[in-house]
Amino acid sequence: MDHYKKTLIYFFSGTGNARRIASWFSEFAETKKIECQTFDLSKISPPKKEEIDPSALIVFISPIHGFNYPKITLDFIINFPKGNNHVVLMNTRAGMKIGNWVTPGLTGIAFLFSALILKIKGYKIDGLIPFDMPSNWISIHPSLNDNTVRFLHLKNHEKVQRHAAKIFSYGKDFVALKDIIQDLLISPVSIGYFLIGRFLFAKSFYASPACNNCESCIKNCPVNAIKSLQGRPYWTFDCESCMKCMNTCPHNAIETAHGLFLMTGILSAPVFGFLSTHFIDLGISEFFQNIVSTVFFLIVLWGLYHIQHRMLVNGKLGTIITAFSLTHFKKWGRYKSIPDSKWKNGTEI
Ligand SMILES: Cc1cc2nc3c(=O)[nH]c(=O)nc-3n(C[C@H](O)[C@H](O)[C@H](O)COP(=O)(O)O)c2cc1C
Ligand code: SF4
Ligand code: SF4
pLDDT at 349: 42
My answer on whether 50 and 172 are in the same domain is yes
The C-alpha atoms of residue 251 and residue 246 are separated, in whole angstroms, by 10
One digit per residue, pLDDT tens: the chain, 349 residues?
Answer: 456 889 999 999 999 999 999 999 999 999 999 999 999 999 999 999 999 999 999 999 999 999 999 999 999 999 999 999 999 999 999 999 999 999 999 999 999 999 999 999 999 999 999 999 999 999 999 999 999 999 999 999 999 999 999 999 877 999 999 999 999 999 999 999 999 999 999 999 999 999 999 999 999 999 999 999 999 999 999 999 999 999 999 999 999 999 999 999 999 888 777 777 666 665 666 677 778 889 989 999 999 999 999 999 998 999 999 999 999 999 999 999 999 998 886 554 4
Domain assignment present for residue 347? The answer is no
What was the pLDDT predicted at 277? 67
Indicate if ligand 3 lies below 6 Å from the C-beta of 138.
no
- 296 phi and psi angles, rounded to 5 deg: -60, -45
Residues 203 and 273 both lie in one domain: yes
- Same structural domain for residues 129 and 87? yes
In a domain, 44, yes or no: yes
Ligand 2 touching residue 214 (CB < 6 A): yes
Q: Does one domain contain both 172 and 146?
A: yes
The pLDDT tens digits for 293-321 are 899 899 999 999 999 999 999 989 999 99
Nearest 10 degrees: Cα torsion 340, 136, 324, 316: 50
Dihedral (Cα; 145, 148, 153, 155), 10-degree rounding: 180
- Give 198 Cα–ligand 3 centroid separation in angstroms: 11
pLDDT on residue 290: 79
pLDDT in tens, 52-99: 999 999 999 999 999 999 999 999 999 999 999 999 999 999 999 999
Q: Are residues 201 and 171 in the same domain?
A: no
Same domain as 237, residue 150: no
Please give the residue range of the domain that contains residue 54.
6-187
Closest ligand 1 atom, CA of 108? 8
- Going by alpha carbons, the residue nearest to atom 31 of ligand 1 is 137
Note whether 207 and 96 are same-domain residues: no
158 shares its domain with 61 = yes
Cα 110 from chain centre: 12
Give residue 4's pLDDT: 84
The reported pLDDT for the residue numbered 1 is 44
Same domain, 182 and 208: no
pLDDT at 104: 96
CATH number of the domain that residue 133 is part of: 3.40.50.360
- Distance from C-alpha of 161 to C-alpha of 277, rounded to nearest angstrom: 59
Q: Do 66 and 151 sit in the same domain of this protein? A: yes
Which of 148, 165, 187 is the last residue in one of the domains? 187
Same domain for 203 and 260: yes
- What's the predicted TM-score (pTM) here? 0.94
CATH number of the domain within which 223 lies: 3.30.70.20
Handedness of CA 274, 278, 280, 286 (dihedral sign): positive
For ligand 2, pick from 230, 249, 325, 336 the residue to mutate: most ligand atoms within 8 Å of CB.
249
Residue 15 shares a structural domain with residue 90? yes
Q: Examine residue 337 and state whether it is found in any structural domain, yes or no.
A: no
